[in-house]
Structure formats: structure tokens, C-alpha cells
Chain A
């Protein structure tokens, strides 16, 4: 037998711990971990509950160049989680990618767009408002704070995403106070404890256009004329939401009735695509707000998929804040949020370097402890290192190995990295996940 003589500083040559001890075999099997040959299982809820795994929230951020396999990964993940009672809600499918999958599970996706019959009220109070009259005052106040908070975030971001020239419409504390007072008056929460009245955006405009004397007094305006002068910009921005490209989509009570027993539901946005990125981004904001309200309808565990979120994030600080709020709410409710984007810097498209939007976006990246990084060009390498704090190993894998084939991804579970190649069953999954079918036909 060959023995060596060495001092302890040379012991590293015999270092035997090369591959990671496997994660628990729970959740969805998402392919083979190339570094240890074991199957890699993704179980966001299981990971959050397991103290030995450095994950504190179940949010998943997916990054990758178009065509690297992002959508296939998400669809495979959904299919594999359905077996454990999970349900998926696709909050905006701009390219009808999930249509095939919905149809396979016997569900017709809801289509939203100009001229379509579907209406979706982003100011829907959702199930939090049910049995309002039977709640005690404290509970009513707690719930109304949650609902009002969501509405304000949405309105602020929708208004703030509109531009005058190359400047976004500013929504400061005064505007926010006005909006809050309008919402309180419309819902009658202070005067009527029997119900929280559902409201729609045209009512908000109407209230701003013809304010009641009580509202003017409450907001400390000397007279109606001053109020109308000071809120002109706000009023016109709200008017854009109901008279512009979104007329007849988000300005009426919701007509969508979700079947919560179906494994998947999708809201298609493909009809909005011709209207441009801004329109799709604003629609995504409305959908996300509505989706957040719908959260407590079902007792089952949910996976919310937000595709192409970068469109929404380009709409400004308010839009980034809105997405941030959705993610934070998801943490408290426990749904799995999956956000798809092309590259980490998409989250910074909202603002200039050092701006508030960019700071929120940076923090936002840390709200997702699970990151799935598909192949990227070398130019994105710096983003990976700086924004995600993943270091040079991740950069080399994402720009090298992951570019070597579709479905190859670096999965970051907290600070731990795993090289995982997605495996799709040729008969069961490939037909559901192949996004190139339209090209082939």
C-alpha cells in the first residue's frame, strides 16, 4: 500500500468531500444534479419548513435567455406539483404558452383584451370581504387595512406608470391621501359596517371628478375649485385607465369565475401584445392585484406564475413596489410565486442607476431564495455576480455549461448551487411543455 509523508498543510490533496449531500426527496423531481448524479427535487414549502436548508421563502425567480427552457421548466414543475394537491394560477400569459397545458387538464384559459367579453376588476376586495357584516370591528379594520393597502399600491403604480413627455406622473403623499379618502368614501367603511362595497376604477374617477363636500372638507381643500385644480393630473391619469387602451377590460366588476377545483387556470394576455410592452405591463399589475385578492378562496396550496414580469417592472417605481408588495404578501400567505424574466438586470429596468426603483428591485431579488438560472450570454455575467451575489462559479456555469443544451439550469437554493439538467418525459410531458410547436407547424 502506498503511504505518503506530508505535513498537515498538504492534507488538502486527500480532500474527499466533493459532492453535496442530497436534499430531501420531496416535491417535484426537476432533473439530475450533474455534480452528484442524484435526482434534484424542488420543494419550496418543504425547504422553508426544513431548518437545515437555507431557504426562508418559497418564491422562485427564473432567469434565462429566450429559448433556453424557462417555460418548459415552469410547466414541468407545475405538472409535477399537481400530484400533491397544488393548483396553478397563471397571472398573465402574454404568449399563450400555457394554453396547451390548460386544455390538457380540461381548462379553457380566460382571454383578456380589447373587445373581449371578460372583465376583471383589480379593485375586487376578494374573499377578505366575504361575511363582512359578521366580523367584529377590529377584524374589519385589520382586513380593510390589507385591502386598502393593496388598492393603493395598485392605483399608485398604475397612475405612476403613465408619462408626461419622458417623465412619469408623480404620485406623492397628497395624491395618495386623496386616493385613500376616495376609496374610504366609496366603500362606506366608516359609515356602514354591514358590507365592504365592491368598487371599480370608473367610480374612483367619478368621485375625483365630482367630489362630495365631505370629501373636500376631509382633505382640507378650501373649496371645490381648488380641489379640482390640484387633482387634475391625478384625475386625468385615472381617466386614462378607463378610456385608453384598457377601456372595457379592468373597469367593470369581474366576470371571471375561477373553478378552484381545476389544477390550472390561466389568464391570457396575448390579445394585448399588439398594444405594446407598457399595456402588457399595466395589465400584469392589474392581474397581480386581482390574483392577490383571490388568494384565500381555495384552501389548497397555490403556485402563481408571473410570466415576463420585466414588462411590468419597466413601468416605474410604483410598478416595482407593486410587485414587491405582491411577493411580500405571498410570503405571508404561503403561496409559491414564480417570476419569469430574461436576466437579473430586467429587474433594474425600472429606473436609473442608484434610483429608488433600482434599490427596491435589488432588494426584490433577495425576496426569492430559490433562483433558476438558465443559459446567458457572457454580457450578463456581471449582473449575475453583482445582483445575485452568486460569485464566479455561477457565472461560469450559466455562461458556459448552461448554454450547452436546453433545460440546463443552475439552481440556487439560498447560497447553495446545483447544476441541474431538466428531464422531461417524452410522452407525458414533452407535448405539454414544448413551446416551439408553433414554429414546427
Chain B
């Protein structure tokens, strides 16, 4: 059985008529007024002269340059400038400014301002209290788990296809419950500090060990620091509007919400360890999540945290935990093309999939750091449409496509291969939806985190090159690097799209 190629995806047209949004349409309509006015006053030359100006406006409004239209760029640049002048781009933590009062309160920059982390009820034999992430600004709740997976580097094509079906089942399961609005999958490859190895060596090297053997261990410890550690997370995002309804049947108020979230975690966990093929899934507690967030901002802190955890087993006076107030950066700054946080800088890009389609495994190049100091991260977000909304949108698109096709046929315009292909894809979507598939509008973010002393621009280029090697096209998220960093490297369920139902 050959590995599957996935090519039946389209770009959702945000516009309502001819792919234009209402503001674009209004702007372009208003822009025709000077021409009409000139014509009505019989100033023919002025009317004709206005046509190229209108065409220029059309070009600037509609044609995307690096992901945004020229007007979009202008609007983004203006808002970025305003944010810069207002001091919103820079962040200093309360700990850094000496105003820290509560260690348990989150102190995060920008997009994370409205985030709270609550402890769930104790569950299971180990009585773990799973952390629940409440995002007040987006009105969502989220829970995060760490996943251990064997990957597909050694998988057969048949196994890859089974895993792909597993991912399909994950989305379908999430959609069937009509609670989960987004699923985030994140993989981070972090430089290996070998702290666990060092601690293990200290505990296991025997006193009478031969010199050559011990020397070899020490040399290998040094060599191993060129390696990486891979960690993967899944985050489920549930909008408050949906959760509150369900929570009424599960005990009401916060308890009801927690119970609902935990039942969702169990349901999704079964799919992750089943069809998805994960070796293990562990829903994170608040201290674990705090550590994951801290290491998201500062990968280099891992050695200290692991050593402290080890010391705490022998010395009760050692506190290995990361207080939430200190989990964020002490200072951060959003530049146009990267995001600087503590002693690190991150460049984030989104990707464009190839029109001819892609098979599983293209992200491997992105996850391979180009140097030992680099941390790479890939986050894939699956916003899930409700079935009713998906059907409506598919029907709209099909209708729009048919209308356009009919118009072309009447005008005698030739239908190109692209149109045929798009029509086939839309037909396929309709068939899949009729068969009960779930509609999603996924996107992916790739990021590279490097020490602030390293040349950021160079590592940004290397990230772009890695994305291209995977057969995709990079698109740097300029002027949104702060929000992009949060989505790409912190498994807190913060999405770049805020269309939560």
C-alpha cells in the first residue's frame, strides 16, 4: 500500500462576492464614485483618467503580497506603529519591575494577558489535578497533555495511512461532541542539555570503574549535547458558550466545567493512545504546565529545573516548581520580524501547502535544528466547524462556484484547469461532508528559538529554507510575531484565529 498524498484542500474564500470582503467591496465601490461623477458632469477625459487609478486601488486592495494586500500591510504597519509608540510591544514582568505580589498569578505578555490556570479535581490513582486554562479574553477553556509517540520515521506506508486515519478520527470525535472548537498539536525539538544523563551517571558510575570507561562516558556526555529532545503536546480548546451549557448537566458552575473538561480529556485520550498510536498521554498539572510554559520562553532553563527536581527528592528544602508569576519572560519585545523574550529570540512563520498536495512527513525538515543551540517548534491548529455550519459553507461555495461557472459558460470564457480542479475539490468536500466528515480550517506555525546573541535574521532564513525543503512555502508572520510565538511554542490553546463559537 502506497503512502497517501493529501491534496483535497482549498483556501477558504473569506469574501462574499467574487472573493471580496464587505469592506473591500465598499471601498472599491466608493472608489468608483469619482468616475461616475465625472461621467455625470460629462467630463469624459477625467472619467477615463480615473479608471487606471481605480485599477491601481483594486490591485492594492485585492492582490496579496506576502500574505496581505498592500492596504492590509498599511493597516498592519499603522497599528504596529501605534502599538510601538504606546509601549505595547515591550513587556516587563512584575518580578522585573519589583511589583510582584502574588506568585500564583500569571504575569504574561500580550496575548496571554487574559489567561488564568485553575486546578481541576483530583483524579485517578495518582490523584492528579489536571490544569485547566481559562482564557478570559477569548472566552475559552483549554486543557493540555504531553504525548509520547514513536513517530513515523520508521513507519511503513500502511502504518502512516493508519495514523492519518487516526487524525481523521480525532477530528471527527471532537466534532461529534460539539464541544471542542479547536485542537492544537505541538511538537518542540529542544537542544539536549543532558541533565538527566549527568545525574544518572553520577548515581551509577561505580567507584572502581576503569578509567577508560569513565573517560568515555564524560566525552559522550559532551557529545550528546549536540543532540535534541523531542516533546509533543495536544491542547483541547472549548468555548465558554458551549461549555457552560454542557456544565449544567455535569454539576454546574466551575465543578461542572471541570468535570466536562475531564470527560473530554478521557474521550480524546482514548483516540490519541488508540488510532493516533501514542505510547502515552499525560494531562498536565498546573506545576507541569508552568514548567512547559517557562521552557517555551527560555529553553535554556531546563537544566536548572531538572537538577532542582532531582535535588528536591533528596532535600525537602529545595523547591523545584516554577511559580506562575515567574513562568513568563522577565522582559519581552515584539520586533517586526521576530519576538525577543528574555535571552532568546523567536522567529515564526506560517506555511503554504503545495497545490499538488503533500504526504505525511514534510515537517521533519522543520523540526531538525540547524545548530545545537536552536529550538524548533511546529504547531498545527485544527479549528473545527460545527456540522451545520460546515454544510452551509460548503453549499455556499458550491453555489458560488456554479454561479461563476455558469457566467463563464454564457460569456464563452474558457474554463481553465485550475477551475476544474477547484470544482473537483469542492465536490469532494461536499461528498465527504455528506458522509459525516468534519470540516476544519487548519493552519500551521513553525518557529525557531535561538539565543538573543545569535543572528536572528540568519536563523529566520534557515527556518524558511527548512520549510521549503519540506515542499511548502514559508510566510513570515511579520508584525504579529508576539502572538505567533505564543501559538507556535506555548501549548496554552491560544489561537491566531479568534473565531470561537
Contacts and interface: CB of A to CB of B under 8 A. Distances in A.
Interface of A: 1-22, 24-26, 29, 32, 35-39, 41, 52, 79-85, 104-105, 261, 263, 391-393, 416-419, 423, 425, 428-429, 432
Contacts of A418: 154
A127 to B, nearest CB: 22
A17 B362 CA distance: 11
Contact of A8 (B172, B362, B369): B172
Contacts of B368: 37
Contacts of A11: 164, 167-168, 170-171, 382, 440, 442
B138 interface: no
A13 B367 CA distance: 15
B170 to A, nearest CB: 8
B452 interface: no
B12 A39 contact: no
B429 A5 contact: yes
B6 A13 contact: yes
B316 interface: no
B490 interface: no
Interface of B: 4, 6, 8-12, 67, 147-156, 160-161, 163-165, 167-168, 170-172, 175, 185-187, 189, 192, 194, 196-197, 200-201, 204-206, 208-210, 212-217, 219-220, 223-224, 227-232, 276, 278-280, 350-353, 357-364, 367-369, 378-380, 382, 428-429, 432-433, 437-444, 475, 477, 480, 484, 496-497
Given A39-B192, A84-B206, A429-B216, A21 B231 contact: yes
A393 B187 contact: no
Given A22-B229, A39-B192, A16 B153 contact: no
A5 B210 contact: no
A425 B194 contact: no
A268 B497 CA distance: 70
A17 B351 contact: no
Contact of A393 (B156, B369, B484): B156
B192 A38 contact: yes
A37 B228 contact: yes
A394 B333 CA distance: 48
B210 A428 contact: no
Contacts, number: 262
A8 B216 contact: no
B380 A16 contact: yes
Contacts of A52: 148, 279-280
A135 to B, nearest CB: 32
Nearest to A396: B156
Contacts of A5: 9-12, 429, 439-441
A329 B45 CA distance: 102
Closest 10 CB pairs of A and B: A12-B164, A35-B153, A13-B6, A25-B197, A83-B213, A6-B9, A7-B432, A39-B224, A8-B171, A82-B213
Given A17-B232, A22-B230, A25-B197, A6 B219 contact: no
A374 to B, nearest CB: 17
Contacts of B231: 21
Contacts of B228: 36-38
Nearest to B430: A7
B382 A80 contact: no
Contacts of A12: 4, 6, 160-161, 163-165, 167-168, 360
A79 B213 contact: yes
B364 A19 contact: yes
Nearest to A39: B224
Given A21-B231, A29-B217, A79-B212, 4 more contacts: A2-B352, A5-B439, A29-B220, A85-B209
A35 B192 CA distance: 15
Contact of B148 (A21, A29, A81, A429): A21
Contacts of B378: 16
B443 A9 contact: no
Contacts of B147: 17
A105 B213 CA distance: 10
Nearest to B147: A17
A189 B216 CA distance: 49
5 contacts: A11-B171, A21-B230, A39-B224, A52-B279, A429-B216
B82 to A, nearest CB: 21
Contact of B209 (A16, A19, A26, A83): A83
B152 A18 contact: yes
A68 to B, nearest CB: 20
A274 to B, nearest CB: 33
Contacts of A29: 197, 217, 220, 223-224
